[in-house]
Amino acid sequence: MSKVADSINKLRLKTREAQLPPELDGRIVSLIEEAEHFVGGSLDVMVHFEQISNYIEFVTSLPWNKRTQDLLDLTKATQIFAKNHYGLQPVKDRILEYLSVLKLQMDQGKANSGENKLMRAPILCFVGLVGTGKTTMAYSIAESMNRKMVRIPFGGMSDALELRGQSRVRPDAEPGLVMKAMKFANSRNPVILLDEIDRVAEHARGDIMGVLVELLDPEQNAAFTDHYVDFPFNLSESLFVATANNTTNIATAVLDRLEPIQMPSYTDEEKIKIGKDFVFPRLLKESGIRMEQLSIDDTVWPVIVRPLGFDAGIRSLERTINGICRKVARMIVEGKGTGFKITPENVNEFLPQW
């Protein structure tokens, strides 16, 4: 059996297992029948076969009927937020209210139709400076709901086709970021993080915002059509969470579909608590250093959290602690000691040099 014939049989098998919508299934079957005529064809014909094969491979890998079971437990969600984030209580309270709305809507859907149907609540948009926890808060929402998490980066996006995909008439066509995210999630109901939606390229802002309106509108995203897939895909079960540094560059039509939540800047006291209880233990583990090998005196933390001046988020704090861990790791490997304590007297020896 030729390699092409073997590939065609594999495509048939994937098509049967994918449980595609009937209309799309008929289209794929026709493409497979067309591909059968390519066996032993010329180079140009084989290139066309490769394009058809890639298309079928992608379409059959999309989660047309796969979903995860939602878990809307406020007690567990509260524990997850406490584990992943210090402070930010107003933000946490707003998210718990948001999850409560989803739970009541889901329970009502079960009572009315017997189906575990999750309706829509307003789409959250975390707005704040760099390092204030916008992205990690979205990950915590996904964890608390037992959903898959996928991220679509908007920073520097210069073409709406990056979201929408390219038509297959182009030889180098590929699907858009939305459909790629759905394939990666392998679930119809993931949490989709639209990251930094205010940072798209200026010349493409109008087109990209137009696609965003469709993505975020439950009346439209139930039949989102990617140019490459060329068949409506239901995104209404996906939960969209957006982030932005500010709302100035976000179109009004998009803002109308979002509920902005301001992420506050951290105080020095909050940063010390975050550094001691969250960041330092994590970076110690990532650096391969045991807890007993490195300790930091309480009086040193004010210097660590503000080495170069005020920073709204914790990015600088993470970099500083990471630099300390790297220096200690090198000293341990070079045999210069087995345990180190950072004090006001020696802190300058361990702080990264900018």
Query: How do residues 141-169 score in pLDDT, each as one tens digit?
Result: 999 989 999 999 999 899 999 999 999 88
Q: Using CA atoms, how far apart are residues 160 and 152, in angstroms rounded to an integer?
A: 13
Q: Determine, yes or no, domain membership for 278.
A: yes
Q: Which residues pair with 124 in a beta bridge?
A: 241, 259
What residues of the chain score a pLDDT lower than 50?
1, 114, 116
The reported pLDDT for the residue numbered 44 is 55
**Are residue 258 and residue 286 in the same domain, yes or no?**
no
Which letter does DSSP use for residue 312 in this model?
S
Domain ranges, residue 55: 3-61
Q: In the prediction, which pLDDT does 18 show? A: 84
Phi and psi, residue 331, nearest 5°: -65, -35
Decide if 68 is inside a domain: no
| 180 and 137 co-located in one domain | yes
pLDDT of residue 131: 82
pLDDT of residue 243: 94
What is residue 342's three-state secondary structure?
Answer: strand
Do residue 198 and residue 78 come from a single domain?
yes
**233, β-bridge pairs:** 224
Q: Look-up: residue for tokens 């076969």?
A: 49
> Same domain, yes or no, for 256 and 148?
yes
E strand segments, the chain: 123-127, 149-153, 191-195, 224-225, 232-233, 239-244, 258-262, 294-296, 340-342
221 found inside a domain: yes
pLDDT of residue 140: 92
As a whole number of angstroms, the distance between CA 77 and CA 324 comes to 33
- If asked whether residues 194 and 47 sit together in one domain, one would say no
- Whether residues 235 and 338 share a domain: the answer is no
3-state class (DSSP) for residue 262: strand
> Is residue 268 within 8 Å of 305, Cβ to Cβ?
yes
Domain end: 226, 245, 262, which one? 262
Do residue 166 and residue 249 come from a single domain? yes
Q: Are residues 18 and 150 in the same domain?
A: no
d(CA 207, CA 159): 8
- 116 shares its domain with 45: no
Domain shared by 86 and 231, yes or no: yes
Task: Answer yes or no: do 292 and 191 share one domain.
Answer: no
In this structure, are residues 158 and 204 in contact, taking their beta carbons and an 8 Å threshold? yes
For residues 243 and 263, the answer to whether their CB atoms sit within 8 Å is no
Residues 160 and 289 in one domain: no
66 occurs within a structural domain: no
Task: Specify the pLDDT at position 1.
Answer: 44
Q: Please give the radius of gyration of the chain, using alpha carbons only, rounded to the nearest integer.
A: 25
Give domain status of residue 136, yes or no.
yes
Q: Domain ends where: 262, 280, 298?
A: 262
pTM of the model: 0.84
Whether residue 42 lies inside any domain: the answer is: yes
The pLDDT, as a whole number, for residue 107 is 77
User: Domain of 285: which CATH number?
Assistant: 1.10.8.60
As for how many domains the chain has, the answer is 3
Among 232, 262, 292, where does a domain finish?
262
